[in-house]
Amino acid sequence: MVLRYTFQAVWHHCESAARFLLQMEPELLRTLLMNVASTSRLAVELFLQLQSDSEESDDDIDSPDAQDTKLLVAVTDVLSTVERCLWAQETSTEWWDHIVLQVWDDEQWLQNFRMRKATFMGLCEELAPTLRRKDTRLRAALPVEKWVAIAIWKLATPDGYRSVANQFGVEKSTVGIVLMQVCTAINRTLLRKTVTLGNVQDIVDGFAEMGFPNCGGAIDGTHIPILSPPHLASEYVNRKGYFSVVLQALVDHRGRFTDIYSGWPGKVHDARIFRNSALFRRLRAGTFFPDRKITVGDVEMPTVILGDPAYPLMPWLMKPYTGKLDRSKDRFNYRLSRCRMTVECAFGRLKARWRCLYGKLDLGESSISAVISACCTLHNICEGKGETFSEEW
What tens digit of pLDDT does each residue of 349-360 get? 999 999 999 889
Which amino acid would we find at residue 73? V
Residues near 200 by beta carbon (within 8 Å), at least 6 away in sequence: 216, 289, 290, 292, 303
Q: Of residues 174 and 42, which shows the higher confidence score? A: 174
Residue 224 exposed, middle or buried by CB count within 10 Å (0-12, 13-18, 19+): buried
**Res. 19: pLDDT tops 50:** yes
pLDDT at 135: 77
**Cα separation values, 24 from 18, 83, 162, 233, Å:** 10, 21, 46, 63
- Binned at pLDDT 50, 70 and 90, residue 3 comes out as very low
Q: 178, 186, 195, 188: which is closest to 120 by C-alpha?
A: 186
* pLDDT grade for 29, boundaries at 50, 70 and 90: low
pLDDT at residue 77 above 90? no
Q: Which helix (H) or strand (E) holds 155?
A: helix 144-156
Distance CA 238, CA 225 (A): 10
> What percentage of the chain carries pLDDT values higher than 90?
65
Weakest mean pLDDT among 64-68, 250-254, 312-316: 64-68
Per-residue pLDDT at 328 exceeds 90: yes
Higher pLDDT pick, 121 / 56: 121
Instruction: Give the chain's mean pLDDT.
Output: 85
Closest of 392, 320, 318, 325 to residue 352, by C-alpha: 392
Cα separation, 204 vs 198, in Å, equals 11
User: Residue 28's pLDDT is what?
Assistant: 62
Strands (E), 155-303: 215-225, 244-251, 257-265, 294-296, 299-301
Q: Which residue has the higher pLDDT, 94 or 190?
A: 190
pLDDT of residue 224: 97
33-47, 303-317, 371-385 — which is least confidently predicted?
33-47
How many Cβ atoms are within 10 Å of 300's Cβ, its own excluded?
A: 10
Domain locations in the chain as residue ranges = 2-80, 113-189, 194-384
CB 187, CB 374: distance < 8 Å: yes
- Cα separation of 66 and 68, whole Å? 5
Task: Give mean pLDDT, residues 238-245.
Answer: 95
Say how far apart CA 214 and CA 208 lie, in whole Å.
7
Is 276 within 8 Å of 221 (Cβ atoms)?
no
Mean pLDDT computed over 138-144: 82
345, 251 contact by CB (below 8 A): no
What's the confidence (pLDDT) of residue 20? 58
Helices and strands in the chain: count of H runs, count of E runs: 17, 7
| Rounded Cα–Cα distance for residues 83 and 38 (Å) | 9
Query: In sequence order, what DSSP letters do the residues of 233-255 get, joined into one string?
Result: GGGGB-TTSSBEEEEEEEE-TTS
Looking at residue 343, what is its pLDDT? 98
Instruction: Compute CA 341 distance to the chain's CA centroid, rounded to the nearest angstrom.
Output: 29
Q: Are strands 244-251 and 215-225 parallel, antiparallel or unpaired?
A: antiparallel
Looking at residue 2, its pLDDT comes to 46
Contact, 158 vs 355, CB < 8 A? Answer: yes
SS3 269: coil
Is 261 within 8 Å of 273 (Cβ atoms)? Answer: yes
* Res. 46: pLDDT tops 80: no
CB atoms within 10 A of CB 322: 9
Beta-bridge mates of residue 314: 317
